[in-house]
Amino acid sequence: MDDSHTPGNPLARGALADQDFLAATGIAKVVVVDSTGSTNADLLRWVTVEPKEWPDLSVLTAEYQTAARGRLDRRWEAPPLSSVSVSLVLRPANAEGRPLPTHTYSWLSLLGALSLRETLLETAGIPAELKWPNDVLVRGRKIAGILAQLGPMGTALFLRSFWGPA
């Protein structure tokens, strides 16, 4: 799989749906759309309507979001094909498979940002910093933001991340 993405070029959708890639990453399902208002809003709606079609670790990604929501309901939009917007279904469970209490979910945005920071350093040698509570910075510029959103009745947690040019 070609893991590079040049701003202005569409994602390699065939590579994202490759069964070997999915098995190696633990991702259950990947859906790529050209444009959406918000990947989190779409995924929340689809999981609510068809929960069995969206198992744990399903991913929705969009080439362009027009009405994304950030922390404190701030709205933002990035130019088409300039960033990668991803939402992920999480159904956190303990070792016995029982759902984790929802009061423990408040740490997931920060843990996601921390994981991204560590991944950038370990895989690409890029030193990144965290800006509390959910932004990842490289050389003082925001390259990613992570937002966790709980679905109705605690059925699923949606973790959205966007990556843009530094």
**Whose CA is closest to 147, among 93, 118, 106?**
106
Reduced to 3 states (helix: H, G, I; strand: E, B; else coil), residue 166 is coil
pTM of structure:
0.76
User: What residues contact 6, with CB distance under 8 A and at least 6 apart?
Assistant: none
Domain locations in the chain as residue ranges: 13-100+146-163
CA-based Rg of the chain, rounded to a whole angstrom? 16
pLDDT tens sequence for the chain (166 residues): 344 445 455 556 666 667 777 788 888 888 888 888 888 889 888 988 888 898 888 999 888 888 766 666 777 666 777 777 888 888 888 889 888 887 777 788 888 889 889 999 999 999 999 987 788 899 998 888 887 777 765 555 555 555 555 4
Give the distance, in angstroms, between the CA of residue 25 and the centroid of all CA atoms in the same chain.
Answer: 14
Q: Which CATH architecture has domain 13-100+146-163?
A: 2-Layer Sandwich (3.30)
